[in-house]
Amino acid sequence: SRLNLKGGYIFGQVPYLLLENHIGNESMFYTTGAFNTMNFFEFVSDHWASLRYEHYFQGLLMNKIPLIRKLKWRLLGSASILYGSLRQENIDIMSPVGPNGEPTLEFNGLDPDQPYIELGYGIENIFKFIRVDGVHRITYRDAPEAQKFALKVSFQFKL
């Protein structure tokens, strides 16, 4: 298993560029350091905590299937959880107003009562270096342009 915990708190009133822009991934490649169904710049926070967990089943399940056993594929599961939000003092300075009085930019903060959650599963060791993951977005599915499911590929070398 692999567990990664991160967190942070930004003191005071700061401009958008100094807030924590949570890393989204709109590419077709799986990235362990990003939220793989989150869009680029979808959420920002001034205080946050994230947890990423990956569990490798090695051959526990895949070795039970005779033809798959010869391929030596390995199953894995993953979860990514993000808690965070914006204080009102930072929300107030982030929405520039256009000539007609309407905001010209829209920024999203996370709801402090609802975390952002992704759950995934995958198969690694395909041709000894390819990994394929299916990732489901569990929360914030009703957001515009939200990617509810993503099939991602990555390349890795493991001994």
H, E, C per residue of 29-88: ECCCCCECCCCCCCCEECEEEEEEEEEECCCCCHHHCHHHHHHCCEEEEEEEEEEEECCH
Neighbouring-strand partners of residue 52: 4, 80
Mean pLDDT of 89-100: 74
Per-residue pLDDT tens for 6-25?
999 999 999 888 899 999 99
Mean pLDDT of 52-80: 91
Per-residue pLDDT tens for 16-52?
888 999 999 999 999 999 999 999 989 999 999 999 9
145/24: higher pLDDT: 24
CA angle 146, 151, 155 (to 5 degrees): 130
pLDDT at res. 106: 65
Q: Against a cut of 0.75, is the pTM above it?
A: yes
Q: If pLDDT is split at 50, 70 and 90, which confidence band does 95 have?
A: low
Asked if residue 145 has pLDDT above 80, the reply is yes
- Residue 50: how many CA atoms within 13 Å on its side-chain side? 22
